[in-house]
């Protein structure tokens, strides 16, 4: 499948993209994870992106579009987690779909309120090596600060500080929310209540996609 997971920071896009990758035959492509990796390796892209990420702002469209074009060159099924985030990115992605003769199956919209998002992000812990996330409130690791799977250290993302989270939510409202209408008009939108349990959200997504496929 070719999917976009759209929604505010902390809505659970990354969590679900990882869980559903094999069930949906759709490899997770997270622009946030790719940028963090570039930052870690101190590449030109990583250095250019750093200041925007720290401030909770979007990285300029031209850098992101080039990056995603490279990433999708070898892709078959995918879930885009964190892209597109502006109308310019969505238009560039449409051109890429057309160039490759690809169909976009659906855009899953994760719906959650601001209070829940703030709570989730400020209690998130991530394994920087694998991208796996935990949550001190809803899904804690067996031992605090240690990944259950590989025993690696868990860290808090620097953009999960309360003031940066508030900025990211503001940026989402101003620059990414217009994409809801963009994809609704194209008939691609599948709305999901992201405030349910992780398993219930997975179920809602798979059920919703099944129903869309049966109806088409
Ligand atoms: P990015 O890494 O994409 O961050 P984001 O979109 O803000 O998304 P998050 O990773 O914060 O949230 P999520 O929805 O994936 O939630 P998660 O599953 O982790 O982007 C970071 C930065 O990179 C941006 O600010 C920007 O600077 C730059 N960037 C990236 N893409 C860009 C682009 N296209 N254009 C320009 N700039 C770009 O879950 C959150 C927490 O909640 C976790 O602790 C998890 O365990 C928990 N949780 C998940 N689901 C549930 C549930 N159902 N119930 C309870 N807890 C849950």
> What separation in angstroms does the CA of 29 have from each of 67, 142, 198?
11, 28, 20
Query: Domain limits of the chain?
Result: 2-113+176-215
Residue 25 in contact with ligand 1 by CB distance below 6 A: no
As a dihedral over the C-alpha atoms of residue 24, residue 188, residue 9, residue 23, rounded to 10 degrees, the angle is -10
The C-alpha atoms of residue 111 and residue 107 are separated, in whole angstroms, by 12
> What separation in angstroms does the CA of 99 have from each of 72, 76, 78, 96?
12, 14, 17, 5
CB 104 within 8 A of CB 97: yes
Q: Tens digit of pLDDT per residue, the chain (216 long)?
A: 999 999 999 999 999 999 999 999 999 999 999 999 999 999 999 999 999 999 999 999 999 999 999 998 777 899 999 999 999 999 999 999 999 999 999 999 999 999 999 999 999 999 988 888 999 999 999 999 999 999 999 999 989 988 999 999 999 999 999 999 999 999 999 999 999 999 999 999 999 999 999 998
Domain covering 2-113+176-215, topology: Rossmann fold (3.40.50)
Atom 12 of ligand 1 has which residue's CA nearest to it?
10
Using the mean position of ligand 1's atoms as its centre, give its distance from the Cα of residue 121 in Å.
Answer: 8
pTM of the model: 0.95
């Amino acid at each position: 499948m070719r999917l976009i997971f759209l929604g505010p920071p902390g809505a659970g896009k990354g969590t679900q993209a990882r869980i559903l990758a094999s069930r949906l035959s759709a490899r997770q492509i997270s622009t946030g994870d790719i940028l963090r990796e570039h930052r870690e390796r101190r590449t030109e892209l990583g250095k250019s992106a750093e200041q925007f990420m720290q401030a909770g702002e979007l990285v300029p469209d031209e850098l992101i579009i080039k990056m995603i074009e490279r990433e999708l060159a070898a892709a078959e099924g995918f879930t885009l987690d964190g892209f597109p985030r502006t109308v310019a990115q969505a238009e560039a992605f449409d051109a890429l779909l057309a160039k490759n003769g690809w169909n976009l199956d659906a855009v899953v919209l994760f719906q959650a309120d601001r209070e829940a998002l703030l709570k989730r992000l400020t209690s998130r812990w991530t394994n920087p090596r694998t991208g796996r996330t935990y949550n001190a409130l809803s899904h804690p690791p067996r031992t605090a600060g240690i990944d259950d799977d590989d025993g690696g250290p868990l860290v808090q993302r620097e953009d999960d500080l309360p003031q940066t989270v508030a900025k990211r939510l503001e940026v989402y409202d101003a620059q990414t929310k217009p994409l809801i209408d963009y994809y609704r008009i194209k008939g691609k939108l599948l709305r999901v209540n992201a405030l349910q349990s992780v398993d219930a959200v997975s179920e809602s997504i798979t059920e919703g996609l099944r129903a869309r496929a049966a109806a088409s």
